[in-house]
Amino acid sequence: MGVIEKDGKFYPDEEFKSKALINSYEKYQEMYKRSIEDPENFWREMSEELFWYKKPEKILDYNFDTQKGKVFHEWFKGGYTNVCYNALDRHLDNPTKNRVALLWQGEPDEDVKVFSYQMLHREVCRFANVLKKKGLKKGDRVCIYLPMIWELPVAMLACARLGIIHAIVFGGFSADALRDRIQESGSKLLITVDQTLRNGRKFDLKTNADDALKDCPLVTDCIVVQRTGSEIPWTEGRDTWWNDEINADDISNFCECEQMEAEDPLFILYTSGSTGKPKGQVHTTGGYMLYVYLTTKYIFDLQPESTFWCMADIGWITGHSYIVYGPLLNGTTSFMYEGTPLWPAPDRAWDLIERYEINVCYTAPTVIRALSRQGEEWPAKHPMKSLRVLGSVGEPINPDAWKWYHKNVGKENCPIVDTWWQTETGGILIAPLPGAWPTKPGSATFPFFGVVPRSADPGVDDPSKLGQKMPPGEAGHLCMEKPWPALSRTIYGDHQRWIDTYFTQFPGMYFTGDGVLVDEEGYHFLQGRVDDVINVSGHRIGTADVESALVMHDAVAEAAAAGMPHEIKGQGIYVFVTLKMGHEPSDDLRKELVSHVRKEIGAIASPDKLQFAPALPKTRSGKIMRRILRKIVENKVDELGDVSTLEDSAVIEELVKNRLG
C-alpha cells in the first residue's frame, strides 16, 4: 500500500511517509513559515544545496506595486553560477558519474539511447564547442525547433553552458509561428531536424524551418539533426548536419562553463495570451535553477536513483523544467519518450513504465482522459509496481480522471500530485507534498515554499473589494502576493507589457489569469482561465493568435474565438467568423479557414467548430463582447446576463439559433 482513502481524502500511508522527504504537515509548515517570514535566510540556505562560483550577496529585492515605481524582482544578486554545471558537472564524481542521466526511447522500439552523467556531459561539451566555433557567445540567442529527440536536451544544456539564451519552439508550430519567434528573439542560429516521427508517420520539419528562415536574415547558420534520413531541401553555406559538426576533428570533449550572474537570462519561452503577439517569457539563471531543483525534489519526493518520466514535450515549459532542468539538477534519471502514449497500442505508456521501472509519472489530464477511453483492460495488463508518485499538470483535473488515474495507473498505491503553475511561473507553485498531507481529487492543495497565493475578489460587484481575500468556498481570481525565485523577469524586449499584463489588475500582486476556490480547509481548487485564453489539451492557445490568423484570410472581416467544453481536450476552439462583402458561407470555405489557421499557427490551434455569423455582438464603443460569446459556446444561454450595453441584441438571437452543437 501507499495511500489510504478516508472520507473522500487520500492519505499517504506510514510506509510512504517513512521514506518521504517531508512527511508531515507540521514539518512543511515550519519550512513554509520560514520561507515567508525570513525569505533571505530560507533561500540562502536552499541555494547552498547547489554550486556557486561566487555566493550571492543579496537574496531578494523587489517591488510589485506599480504605485511605488518600476515593478521588478531580482534574486541572488552578486552570485555567479552555471545551470549546466549544476545539472551535469556537479554529478561527475564517482559513483554518480555513471548514473543514468538521460534515458531516451525513440518511437520505434529499437531506438534507445542511454546517457550516463559522464556521457551526457561529454556530448554537451562537444556541442557547446560547436556553438562556440560558430561564433556564438554569452547573451546571444539560439532558436531550437526540434521534436522529442535526445539532441534537444543536449542543445539546451550546451546553450546554458555558454550563457547562450535558448528559445525553443514547439515542433508542432507552423513555419509562420516559428518565423515570428525567431525574429522576436533575434536568434542567430537555428537547430532543427530533417523530419519528425509521429504515430509511425514522418513529417517534414526542415521544410517548415526553410520557410521560416526566408524572412530571418539574422540567422546565418542552421544545424540539422538527421532523424529519418529522408531527402530534404538544403541551403549550402547555411545548413550543416549535427553529426558532421559534433564529430569534427577540431571539436574537443571539454568545454569550460561560462560563469553566469544569477540574473543573467537562461532562456526565452513564448506563451500566448488574449491580446497581442506571443509573449517571450524570460527566465534567469539563479532563481529558475534553484526553484525547479527544489520543486522537483520535494513535490515528486525524489528518492535516490528515481527514474522520472514527464510526458510533456520539451517545447513547453513543463518539459523545460521537469524533463531537463529539474531532474538533472537533482542527479536523477530523466526518461524521455519520442512518441505518443497511444501508439502503436493503447498500453504503450504502461508498457514503458513497466519496462524501465519508472518511479514518477507526470502527465496531463487530457492524456489521462484519452487513455481512460481505451478501457481499463490496458493498464490492467501492467502491474507497474515501480510507480511511487503520479503527477498531473496543464489544466484542472476532473475528479473522474483523477480517480481513474489513481485506480488504474497508481493501483491505489501512489499519491497524485496535481501541480498548478504556468510558463510565467517557471516551476510549480501549488501542489501536494505527497508524504505530508492528504489530497482531495481536483485540488492542487497548498502552496510551495515562498509562494503566497490569494483568491482575490475581482471587484465586479463592489469595486472597493478589489483584491480582497474571497471567503472560503467562493471562487476568486488567483493572485500571488510575493515573488518567488522562478517567476519570469520580463517579456523579452517589452518590460512594460510584462507589468501591464500581470501587475495592473490587482494592485501589488501578480495576477495569474486563473480562477481559484479555496475551501474551508485551505485546499486550492483551480477553476481554469478567467480571461480569453483557451486551454486545449493543456496547451495555451491565445484567442488573439487564432483571431489574427483568421482575419489574415481574404474572405474574413472579423473573427472571435472562445473555448468550448471538450471531452478529451478539456477545451476545444470555437470560432465565429463574419465574412467580407462578396463572400458567402459554405462548407468549403469553412474547411479552408480551418486549414488556414493550422497553417498559420499549427495543428494545435485548429478550430474545432467554425460558425459563420452576419455580425458579432459589440458594445456601443465597438468592443466584441466575449463574455457573451463564451456563454453561447458553453450553451449557457440563460446566463447571458446584462446585454443592455449591446449595440444590437438581435445579433445574439442569430448566433444562438445557429450555434453548432
Q: Tell me which residues touch ligand PRX (CB under 6 A).
A: 271, 316-318, 393-396, 418-423, 444, 512-514, 526, 528-529, 535, 540
The C-alpha atoms of residue 552 and residue 557 are separated, in whole angstroms, by 9
- Least distance (Å) from ligand PRX to the CB of residue 526? 4
Residue 161 or 540: the one with the smaller Cβ distance to ligand PRX is 540
Task: Report phi then psi at 123, rounded to 5.
Answer: -65, -45
Residues in the chain: 661
Residue 216 or 451: the one with the smaller Cβ distance to ligand PRX is 451
Looking up cell 559538426 gives: 245
Task: Report phi then psi at 179, rounded to 5.
Answer: -55, -45
Residue 459 or 528: the one with the smaller Cβ distance to ligand PRX is 528
- Least distance (Å) from ligand PRX to the CB of residue 87? 20
Task: Report phi then psi at 233, rounded to 5.
Answer: -65, 150
Which residues have C-beta within 8 Å of that of residue 568, sequence separation ≥ 6?
366, 369, 370, 373, 537
- Least distance (Å) from ligand PRX to the CB of residue 365? 8
Among candidate residues 531, 562, 593, the one with its CA nearest the CA of residue 655: 562
Residue 52 or 421: the one with the smaller Cβ distance to ligand PRX is 421
- Least distance (Å) from ligand PRX to the CB of residue 599? 22
Cα 443 to chain centroid distance, Å, stands at: 19
Which residues have C-beta within 8 Å of that of residue 40, sequence separation ≥ 6?
59, 60
Residue 170 or 356: the one with the smaller Cβ distance to ligand PRX is 170
Looking up cell 495569474 gives: 512
Residue 388 or 477: the one with the smaller Cβ distance to ligand PRX is 477
Task: Report phi then psi at 483, rounded to 5.
Answer: -80, 160
Which residues have C-beta within 8 Å of that of residue 505, sequence separation ≥ 6?
477, 511
Among candidate residues 564, 589, 563, the one with its CA nearest the CA of residue 578: 589
- Least distance (Å) from ligand PRX to the CB of residue 536? 10
Beta bridge partners of 392: 363, 418
**What's the burial of 207, exposed, middle or buried (CB within 10 Å: 0-12/13-18/19+)?**
middle
The C-alpha atoms of residue 82 and residue 586 are separated, in whole angstroms, by 57
- Least distance (Å) from ligand PRX to the CB of residue 364? 8
The C-alpha atoms of residue 334 and residue 337 are separated, in whole angstroms, by 10
Where on the phi/psi map is residue 622: left (φ > 0), alpha (ψ -120 to 50), or beta? left
Residue 338 or 514: the one with the smaller Cβ distance to ligand PRX is 514
- Least distance (Å) from ligand PRX to the CB of residue 306? 21
Q: Is the N-terminal amide bond of 344 cis, ω within 30° of 0?
A: yes
Residue 502 or 576: the one with the smaller Cβ distance to ligand PRX is 502
Residue 425 or 611: the one with the smaller Cβ distance to ligand PRX is 425
- Least distance (Å) from ligand PRX to the CB of residue 582? 39
> Is residue 92 within 8 Å of residue 121, measured between CB atoms?
yes
Residue 151 or 418: the one with the smaller Cβ distance to ligand PRX is 418
- Least distance (Å) from ligand PRX to the CB of residue 423? 3
Residue 329 or 593: the one with the smaller Cβ distance to ligand PRX is 329
Looking up cell 463574419 gives: 578
Q: Give me 14's grid cell.
A: 506510514
Where on the phi/psi map is residue 375: left (φ > 0), alpha (ψ -120 to 50), or beta? left
- Least distance (Å) from ligand PRX to the CB of residue 391? 9
Residue 14 or 519: the one with the smaller Cβ distance to ligand PRX is 519
- Least distance (Å) from ligand PRX to the CB of residue 539? 6
Residue 52 or 498: the one with the smaller Cβ distance to ligand PRX is 498
The C-alpha atoms of residue 495 and residue 203 are separated, in whole angstroms, by 37
- Least distance (Å) from ligand PRX to the CB of residue 188? 26
Q: Give me 418's grid cell.
A: 496535481
The C-alpha atoms of residue 495 and residue 490 are separated, in whole angstroms, by 5
Radius of gyration of the chain from its Cα atoms, rounded to whole angstroms: 24
DSSP structure string for 171-212: TTB-HHHHHHHHHHHT-SEEEEESEEEETTEEEESHHHHHHH
- Least distance (Å) from ligand PRX to the CB of residue 630? 15
